[in-house]
Chains A and B, each alone.
Chain A
Amino acid sequence: MICSLQLIRLTFRRTLPLFLAPIVSAYLVLPLIAAAGLASGSWETALENLTYGEQAILPVGGLLWAFAYLQVWVDSDGEETMRACRRGKHVCAAELLMLNIGFAVMLLPALVAGTLFFRPLWTEYARLIPQGFFFTGLFYLAAILLRSVTMGGMLVLVYHLFCVFFCRNVEMRGYCLIRPDALANEAAFPYIPILLSGAAMYLLGAWRESRPVRQ
Chain B
Amino acid sequence: MIGSIRVSNRVFYRGLSLVLPYGLVLAVTLMSLIRLTQGVLSPVDYLTDSLKLGEFGVLYFALAGYELTSMLRKLGGQECLSAIPGAQCGLLFSHILTLLPLLAAWSAVIFGGQAICYFRQGLDYPPYLLHCLLAVILYCLLPGLDGLLLGACLEQVGRPAAYGTIMLAILLSSSVCDELFAGGSLFGVSPMAVFDWFYLTVPNGNWTADASYGVPMELCRWCLAVFWCLVLTAVLLWQYRRDGGRAVSIAAAVLLAAALLCAARFALRGEDDLLLKDSRPGGILSSEYQYRADHPTGDLGAADFSVEEYDLKLTAKGALKVSATVKLSRDDLREYRFTLYHGYEVLSVTDERGEALSFTRDGDFLDISAPDGAKTFTVHYNGKGWKYIANAQAITLPGYFPYYPMPGHLALWADGSAQSVTGLPPARFRVEAATPQTVFSNLPKTGRNQFEGVAETATLYAGLIDETERGGVSYICSPVGREQVESIDLERTERLWQEWCETTGETRTLDLVGKKVFIQPDTISNCGKGDSESVVVFDDHILLANMNSTPETICAYYLLKSLPSDAERGLLRDVFRQDLVVGIGNWSGEKPDYDALQILREYPSMNALNEIGDEEQWFAAVEQYTSASEQFHTLYAWQCSQLGRDTVLREVYQYLKDSTPCQDQVTFLYDLGGAC
Contacts and interface: CB of A to CB of B under 8 A. Distances in A.
B615 A155 contact: no
A75 B159 contact: yes
A169 interface: yes
Interface of B is mostly: helix
Contact of B35 (A35, A71, A75, A172): A172
A164 B167 CA distance: 14
Contacts of B24: 154-155, 158
**Which of A52, A75, A158, A159 has the largest count of B CB atoms less than 10 A from its CB?**
A158
A40 to B, nearest CB: 5
A94 interface: no
A158 B180 contact: no
Interface string A54-94: 00110010001001100100010100000000000000000
A15 B158 CA distance: 10
B184 A36 contact: yes
Contact of A42 (B167, B170, B205, B610): B610
Nearest to A52: B179
A1 interface: no
Contacts of B67: 150
Contacts of B175: 165
A146 B183 contact: no
A17 B38 CA distance: 43
B32 A39 contact: no
A82 B59 CA distance: 31
Nearest to B160: A15
Interface string B26-50: 0010001001101100000000010
A153 interface: yes
Interface string B7-33: 000000000111011001100100010
B52 interface: yes
Interface string A164-195: 11101111100000001000000000000000
Nearest to B67: A150
Given A53-B180, A171-B39, A165 B55 contact: yes
Nearest to A170: B39
A208 to B, nearest CB: 17
A17 B160 contact: yes
B175 to A, nearest CB: 7
Nearest to A153: B163
A165 B49 CA distance: 8
Determine the interface band of chain A, counting residues with CB < 8 A from chain B: 35 or more
Contacts of A197: none
Contacts of A149: 159
A162 B52 CA distance: 9
Contacts of B63: 150, 153-154
A161 B55 contact: yes
Interface in B599-619: 610, 615-616, 618-619
A161 B170 contact: yes
Contacts of B160: 14-15, 17-18, 67-68, 71
B206 interface: yes
Interface in B169-228: 170-171, 174-176, 179-181, 183-186, 191, 205-206
Contacts of A118: 615
Contacts of B20: 146, 151
**Which of A49, A68, A146, A150 has the largest count of B CB atoms less than 10 A from its CB?**
A150
Contacts of A164: 174, 176, 205
A15 B622 CA distance: 46
**Which of B21, B163, B179, B180 has the largest count of A CB atoms less than 10 A from its CB?**
B180
A107 interface: no
A212 interface: no
A122 interface: no
Contacts of B670: none
Contact of B28 (A146, A162, A170): A162
B59 to A, nearest CB: 6
B675 interface: no
A166 B32 contact: yes
B190 to A, nearest CB: 10
B56 interface: yes
B167 A154 contact: no
A161 B180 contact: no
**Which of B59, B74, B183, B618 has the largest count of A CB atoms less than 10 A from its CB?**
B183
Nearest to A159: B28
Given A21-B164, A153-B163, A166-B52, A49 B170 contact: no
Contacts of B180: 33, 36, 49, 52-53, 56
A14 B180 CA distance: 31
A43 interface: yes
A17 B167 CA distance: 12
A17 B49 contact: no
B60 interface: yes
A191 to B, nearest CB: 24
A71 B158 CA distance: 11
A103 B60 CA distance: 27
Contact of A151 (B17, B56, B191, B622): B17
B49 A60 contact: no
Nearest to A67: B163
Contacts of B163: 18, 67, 153
17 contacts: A18-B160, A39-B184, A39-B185, A41-B610, A49-B183, A56-B179, A64-B164, A67-B163, A71-B160, A148-B17, A154-B24, A154-B63, A158-B59, A158-B60, A161-B170, A169-B36, A172-B32
Given A18-B164, A39-B185, A56-B171, 13 more contacts: A18-B163, A36-B191, A40-B184, A40-B279, A119-B619, A146-B20, A148-B17, A149-B159, A154-B60, A158-B25, A162-B28, A169-B36, A171-B38
